[in-house]
Amino acid sequence: MSYVGRFAPTPSGALHFGSLVAAVASYLDARANNGSWLVRIEDLDPPRTAPGSIDAILCCLDRFGLHWDGPLMFQSQRQGAYLDALAELTKQGRIYACSCSRAQFQANPLYNCTCLTNPPAEKEVALRITLPSINVTINDTIIGSQTQHLADTVGDFVVQRKDQLFSYQLAVVVDDAEQKISHVIRGSDLYHQTPAQTWLQRCLSYNQPTYGHLPIITNDQGQKLSKQNLAAALDLSKAPALLSEVLERLGQTTPCALRQAPVEEQLAWAITQWDITKVPKRMQDPNAFV
């Protein structure tokens, strides 16, 4: 099977340093394996799409020399595919209506949803998928083999929300299958969602990609860099220096002669030297490279 990787940003704002680390790692892994690298815009939730953010993301990738293959995919244009997947899961008897709110689950870790055995009368309901009492093992190329119990650790999860928007879990699985994604390199903040996604892949008879989860980048307070935590947008005028820092964080130390060289030169070197086994399982002190 040929290598197909992807970078799938959410257009809720400009890319930050943590986003760049994920983009560069997935790009290098694809190019080092003579593979394709695709870009998917995960605009699944229209109210979260910030005006101008899609153009800003694409401009940023271009400025860092991260040129993608093929056409862009937009989740906002994929509703028909998600409906088809939901219909198949419903046909298999795996879907049930649920009136419980996220707040109920968050307020009480022991909250017991009874919607499966006592279907709700409300018209506005979410749709959940039932999970079996089995273990799922993910052979992660970065953090190693990890096992989770689906029913106990993951639990039945939403595939379509009360507002009729599809969940990230369902959309990402359907889209990865459509794009024939063979390798997913992304942040470890998404690791715990992987067992749920692999279960959906089994149910829908999709191939399972190879996963590799990168250690997340944190701010001075130890929080994950994110738009919610007001992570600063990338300064494109400093692209060469930022790319050198990204490679350092990924364990791919650039030779002194190439540090802060044009991004094309750094990437050309990094592709030939890329070694995913050198990616640290945990990031160093966030202040180490400041």
pLDDT digits (tens, 9 = 90+) for 197-229: 999 999 999 999 999 999 887 654 444 544 554
CB atoms within 10 A of CB 190: 17
pTM above 0.75, yes or no: yes
What distance lies between CA 74 and its chain's CA centroid? 15
Domains and CATH numbers, the chain: 4-76+172-278 (3.40.50.620), 79-169 (3.40.50.620)
Q: What are phi and psi of 151, to 5 degrees?
A: -65, -45
Contact 9, 24 (CB under 8 A): no
Nearest to 123 by CA among 94, 87, 89, 99: 99
Contact 63, 239 (CB under 8 A): yes
Average pLDDT, rounded, for the chain: 90
The per-residue pLDDT for range 78-108, each reduced to its tens digit, is 999 999 999 999 999 999 999 998 888 777 7
pLDDT confidence of residue 276: 96
Q: What are phi and psi of 135, to 5 degrees?
A: -90, 145
pLDDT confidence of residue 133: 94
The per-residue pLDDT for range 226-242, each reduced to its tens digit, is 455 445 779 999 999 99
pLDDT confidence of residue 259: 86
pLDDT confidence of residue 228: 52
Contact 98, 119 (CB under 8 A): no
pLDDT confidence of residue 107: 77
Task: Concatenate the DSSP letters of all residues of the chain into one string.
Answer: ---EEEE----SS---HHHHHHHHHHHHHHHHTT-EEEEEE---SGGG--TTHHHHHHHHHHHTT-PPPS--EEGGG-HHHHHHHHHHHHHTT-EEEE---HHHHHH-TT----TTTS----SS-EEEE---S-EEEEEETTTEEEEEEIIIII-SEEEE-TTSPBPHHHHHHHHHHHTT--EEEEEGGGGGGHHHHHHHHHHTTPPPPEEEEEPPPB-TTSPBP-TTTTPPPP-GGGHHHHHHHHHHHTT-PPPTTTTT--HHHHHHHHHHH--GGGS-SS---TTTT-
Q: Which two tokens stand for residue 87?
A: 């219909």
- CA dist 163 and 161 (Å) reads 5
pLDDT confidence of residue 237: 92
- Residues of the chain short of pLDDT 50, as ranges, are 220-223, 225-226, 229-230, 283-290
pLDDT confidence of residue 282: 67
